Structure 1
């Protein structure tokens, strides 16, 4: 078995056998890595016989019987099928609304082609003895310009867990998001972008990183705001019944284990009261029943996982459970679920409360005048030991984790410890896992931010146990994924933002723009070589502009240079990088940024000292506001002039990532004199039309 035959199989499966690093150096993926990636794709190649069988598996489709269960198309455009044909083929099209049409598949350059269909939706195409779904998408996602033509909107970005409000029990929740949205909307904001709300692990409160979810199909109950569902009075009665429900003085950091225990105790008491109350047979009980029915098997399986995880071994992932419990549809799991029916119901209840909390917070945002409202965040993957991986094992690239190859700041590469969908499994299952994830992300919000949007085109995948550099890029069916994203975006009236920072495949920015997906522009990256910072008019007109993100320095932290100190302390400056050289470069960069501010008339006077951060933050907010992009998003940390960033990439417990708790109630943040000045400045530059 030659390596060239192996590489040929890998190429046909969408695995890149070579890659270039940040310096332009070429690298060849080793045969062992290729075999591990192919095995996760269901294409074993350890022996000559396996390799031959896998090659046959990838043979090009030649008949209608080989069509996948779902084919995507764009409204008003013919669609070529990956099926050979030189003669027309009669077919029947059943539109989603029920109308039936007789059509013909016509040959074009040796392939059959579906004629243009004007109506978007999930239609059924019947040809010979096959029936497939024909997903006809609009040409573009719903954009901010669709919401407000010639838009120049502004909004706030917030770490949900860090918001505070009465009754939050020590962890920010959607009640705080509602409070923030109400005030922000009244001041002219049109959006509040939140950190991910995905489900983590109820039984493992030390697993609190929002970008490492157990499942992206469901929500973190710790962010539920029961008062938005049951009312403040009823929730207040429950709080009074649970010791410690009113958190004491805060040191500015969330104690996730303690606060989680208290919040779940409150939610448990609420559940017990609900079962015994008249509400169980009233409107709320009926709504809960509809929610369980509508969310179906996925919700039930997630609830079973949570109950099992708590009962068996909270610190052990499911691949180390007894063999019979690893099968979500096996007899052992069914017996457990029947014997613990109330516990499973409790976890379904938690999801209902969380779901209705998002709905209520979005309603508050819209009633405050916001045209977009909440913008949710869709993480790039999920924990391989979590709920989704257990309940839908065939969806997942088990044995591989997502990361990034070596670059200047991370010379060893990165391993994020997450996994994602198998592209082959997605296509074979009619993209069901991808669609379920999109629909979950788009429930009750006005926008979503797709984390590491490059994952729609390719992911860097690392065999478990290998170094991050020993990985390979795997291509995804980006055309199909973008079409489905556009279709779901329009159906849900949700705008889409793609995080397109870092190493981006060639042409990917153009694909996002053509698909109506707004990219991201961040102050620190808008540089004009050594000449300085790009003026606002050079930021383009289709992206979303931000001063910073959760992974990057705040404006005050960058100006002061405290971000350099923190990265040096934790070994995150890069291998062999001298911190004094980094500080010297920052000394050169400060005047460049200040002069860019002065040129745009957002400030004046000499360059402030590194300790004088207030005027710099004021100027940065106004600078972002002057861009021509449709939406400017300012993180709360920058509105408040804070130095510390929410997350320091490359660290886990050695830095207080995802733990910073704001000391000001969410309802009062924008009313602070300094913050209000910045809010008024951006609102004046981008007035609501």
Structure 2
């Protein structure tokens, strides 16, 4: 390697890019110079002059180090409670100033010389499952919101897309049976002008909500919604969408938005409590909400003029800048269109709040658990409205591993670590607070992203990426602080290979990991449930894996074989599955049922998972109902009906079926032992 490349490696390390990495076999791999150069161009060289960030994190009861450039001497500490304390910042041998220990958690302000620094002082750990369970063991369900059916009430159904009304119904039914949590698929804002882009983990913005998942009756009442359906002539269309086995996203979304438009048209000149609440919501949303609404209205207008004009990065230059005069002129010329999208966010926000309220009223000690996607679509609202927040020109993915020899590119943009430092972690905090706003917990997808992300420069293969480090200690402290402020538990999706020591960091901060039945193995067998991690959430499956019934029957193998994903048609996979069936039944049962009889296996497997020592067990609704198909088949897009499956009947009613009720009762008994 020449001297230029040596210098490149040093620059990369200084910017947080690892010039090498360790693969699943333990072998060290070098990152190509082209990858390092392209990521450096996107991330920017480290700037030593910007050494005093606007926000510094610390822990309660411990001295807080400041950057050397912050200075020392007399200072004023203004606690979040309003208490003012004169302190002295002393410089240590390392050149850093040190703020004396602060016992009160919160966002405090330090006025030192000619600058003010926010001190985010966090508890030592998150608000945890232990804090809620108090020695007991909790359980709950996991559900895909869009797949929930709910019965027609006063002539109003779900319109073909599961929504917060179905969430509330499921929460009430599960809460009556002793469940304490309902983990949901992501509710992030997608693209209302492009309903064919319905993947919940590829959001336009994680700061806002998907209005297609909102039940407007939570805000306006059934009678008013029914009247809007009639006035817009939508009942027949909605009934057809509701009767479908799979979601027809374009048709159902068009009908749902037409309903919301009818409600908006009847509301726009209204006075009274609802109007006042909407005005307060818009004011509280500020520039972030205004920019999101402008983006949604702009994209709809652009697509109406040219259906191929979907990527804002190809718009005229003046429209690519959210602060430009051209964008302001558009908003002034189309105030109703912009206001309508703010209205959609208001409806979605209040409907989700109602669902959480009903979950808690049903006796759930946690209630809803939100799902926070790892990144966002580079063509979406956040990337347009706050481009400096986003690390453009590269996508989040994963390096080659035992399951994906070619690596993965998830086509998601990440928040820039530089933007975090320079803005006092504003984009990260806004994203986290949005997820926790109406939830008793949050599942952080790919939680390893708090420490590092595999980034693939645009145009390169997933194997040609590199790891970019993130300020993990700062982020974990902010997660702990926000967790306590919202009294919400934190679950980290920690499946796969983690950086050395990261699992201990999560455990120390009371971020619960995840343990999934299919991965809890000892040699060729399955690990006894009693030996599962006590600090992790126990699960029978996830949205990316087959439910127990489908795994037992080999439905997932058959689906992949039908798509020609196996060189031998799945013969080897079926043989391995036969061996695994025997191993699973040895762990959970006593006489092996045949593959075509999964019901006894489902019963035994759910009891098995419920015996795990973790404070929380989450069972996907698909397993409780004994379904075979998984919500998402990784590695497929349009060739498989991902994110489109609907339950055959309302979830609340389904939980009352004898076999389902028996499974829930068995789970509850195991968790109470």
What band does the TM-score fall into relative to the shorter chain? over 0.9
Q: Deviations over 1:131-166 (max 9, x none)?
A: 110100111111111123113011010000000113
2:592 alignment counterpart: 607
The question of 1:34 aligning with 2:17 is answered: no
The question of 1:296 aligning with 2:281 is answered: no
2:259 alignment counterpart: 266
Instruction: Give distance in 1, aligned partners of 2:564 and 2:322.
Output: 42
Q: Deviations over 1:108-141 (max 9, x none)?
A: 3322222111011111111111111010011111
2:502 alignment partner, one of 500, 508, 520: 508
Instruction: Give distance in 1, aligned partners of 2:518 and 2:73.
Output: 56
2:632 alignment partner, one of 640, 647, 652: 647
The question of 1:594 aligning with 2:585 is answered: yes
2:642 alignment counterpart: 657
Instruction: Give distance in 2, aligned partners of 1:321 and 1:507.
Output: 45
1:100 alignment partner, one of 65, 84, 89: 84
The question of 1:622 aligning with 2:607 is answered: yes
Q: 1:84 to 1:291 in 2, by over 3 A?
A: closer
The question of 1:171 aligning with 2:171 is answered: no
Q: 1:84 to 1:326 in 2, by over 3 A?
A: closer
Residues 448, 494 of structure 2: 8 Å contact kept: yes
Instruction: Give distance in 2, aligned partners of 1:112 and 1:569.
Output: 64
Instruction: Give distance in 1, aligned partners of 2:356 and 2:480.
Output: 21
1:58 alignment counterpart: 47
2:23 alignment partner, one of 21, 29, 36: 21
Q: Deviations over 1:348-368 (max 9, x none)?
A: 000000000010000110111
How many angstroms does 1:569 deviate by?
3.0
Q: Deviations over 1:318-342 (max 9, x none)?
A: 1011110000010000000010001
Instruction: Give distance in 1, aligned partners of 2:301 and 2:72.
Output: 59
How many angstroms does 1:309 deviate by?
0.3
2:204 alignment partner, one of 207, 211, 214: 214
2:65 alignment counterpart: 80
How many angstroms does 1:82 deviate by?
2.9
* 1:42-191 paired onto structure 2 within 5 Å: 42-43=44-45, 57-59=46-48, 66-83=51-68, 89-110=73-94, 111-165=96-150, 166=152, 167-191=157-181
2:387 alignment counterpart: 393
Task: Report the 3-state secondary structure (helix = DSSP H, G, I; strand = E; otherwise coil) of the residue aligned with 2:652.
Answer: coil
Task: Report the 3-state secondary structure (helix = DSSP H, G, I; strand = E; otherwise coil) of the residue aligned with 2:443.
Answer: strand
TM-score between the two structures when normalised by the length of structure 1:
0.93
1:224 alignment counterpart: 214
The question of 1:358 aligning with 2:352 is answered: yes
Task: Report the 3-state secondary structure (helix = DSSP H, G, I; strand = E; otherwise coil) of the residue aligned with 2:414.
Answer: coil
Task: Report the 3-state secondary structure (helix = DSSP H, G, I; strand = E; otherwise coil) of the residue aligned with 2:639.
Answer: coil
Q: Deviations over 1:18-44 (max 9, x none)?
A: 01222223221111111111111123x
2:487 alignment partner, one of 488, 493, 510: 493
The question of 1:675 aligning with 2:660 is answered: yes
Q: Deviations over 1:222-259 (max 9, x none)?
A: 00111111111111211222334332263421000000
TM-score between the two structures when normalised by the length of structure 2:
0.96
The question of 1:431 aligning with 2:425 is answered: yes
1:601 alignment counterpart: none
The question of 1:419 aligning with 2:419 is answered: no
Task: Report the 3-state secondary structure (helix = DSSP H, G, I; strand = E; otherwise coil) of the residue aligned with 2:640.
Answer: coil
Structure 1 unaligned blocks of 5 or more: 44-56, 599-603
2:315 alignment counterpart: 321
The question of 1:257 aligning with 2:250 is answered: yes
1:50 alignment counterpart: none
How many angstroms does 1:58 deviate by?
3.3
The question of 1:569 aligning with 2:567 is answered: no
* 1:441-480 paired onto structure 2 within 5 Å: 441-480=435-474
Task: Report the 3-state secondary structure (helix = DSSP H, G, I; strand = E; otherwise coil) of the residue aligned with 1:15.
Answer: coil
2:239 alignment counterpart: 247
2:372 alignment counterpart: 378
Task: Report the 3-state secondary structure (helix = DSSP H, G, I; strand = E; otherwise coil) of the residue aligned with 2:290.
Answer: helix
Instruction: Give distance in 2, aligned partners of 1:572 and 1:539.
Output: 32
Structure 2 unaligned blocks of 5 or more: none
Instruction: Give distance in 2, aligned partners of 1:386 and 1:549.
Output: 27
Instruction: Give distance in 2, aligned partners of 1:318 and 1:391.
Output: 10
2:619 alignment counterpart: 634
Instruction: Give distance in 2, aligned partners of 1:26 and 1:577.
Output: 32
Residues 144, 151 of structure 1: 8 Å contact kept: no
Task: Report the 3-state secondary structure (helix = DSSP H, G, I; strand = E; otherwise coil) of the residue aligned with 1:398.
Answer: strand
Instruction: Give distance in 2, aligned partners of 1:29 and 1:613.
Output: 46
How many angstroms does 1:571 deviate by?
4.8
Task: Report the 3-state secondary structure (helix = DSSP H, G, I; strand = E; otherwise coil) of the residue aligned with 2:278.
Answer: helix
Residues 609, 617 of structure 2: 8 Å contact kept: yes
Instruction: Give distance in 2, aligned partners of 1:441 and 1:577.
Output: 44
How many angstroms does 1:408 deviate by?
2.3
Residues 52, 69 of structure 2: 8 Å contact kept: no
2:537 alignment counterpart: 544
Residues 183, 670 of structure 1: 8 Å contact kept: yes
How many residues align? The count is 658
How many angstroms does 1:519 deviate by?
0.5
Instruction: Give distance in 2, aligned partners of 1:151 and 1:36.
Output: 51
Residues 219, 351 of structure 1: 8 Å contact kept: yes
1:197 alignment counterpart: 187
Residues 61, 103 of structure 2: 8 Å contact kept: yes
How many angstroms does 1:84 deviate by?
6.7
Task: Report the 3-state secondary structure (helix = DSSP H, G, I; strand = E; otherwise coil) of the residue aligned with 2:168.
Answer: helix
Task: Report the 3-state secondary structure (helix = DSSP H, G, I; strand = E; otherwise coil) of the residue aligned with 1:66.
Answer: coil
2:669 alignment counterpart: 684
Instruction: Give distance in 2, aligned partners of 1:273 and 1:645.
Output: 40
Instruction: Give distance in 2, aligned partners of 1:351 and 1:611.
Output: 46
Task: Report the 3-state secondary structure (helix = DSSP H, G, I; strand = E; otherwise coil) of the residue aligned with 1:252.
Answer: coil
Residues 51, 67 of structure 2: 8 Å contact kept: no
2:573 alignment counterpart: 582
Residues 557, 642 of structure 1: 8 Å contact kept: yes
Residues 234, 259 of structure 2: 8 Å contact kept: no
How many angstroms does 1:686 deviate by?
2.1
How many angstroms does 1:590 deviate by?
0.9
Task: Report the 3-state secondary structure (helix = DSSP H, G, I; strand = E; otherwise coil) of the residue aligned with 1:247.
Answer: helix
Q: 1:274 to 1:675 in 2, by over 3 A?
A: same
Cα root mean square deviation, aligned:
1.6
2:477 alignment counterpart: 483
Q: Deviations over 1:34-91 (max 9, x none)?
A: 1111111123xxxxxxxxxxxxx533x6xxx831100000010112223179x96222
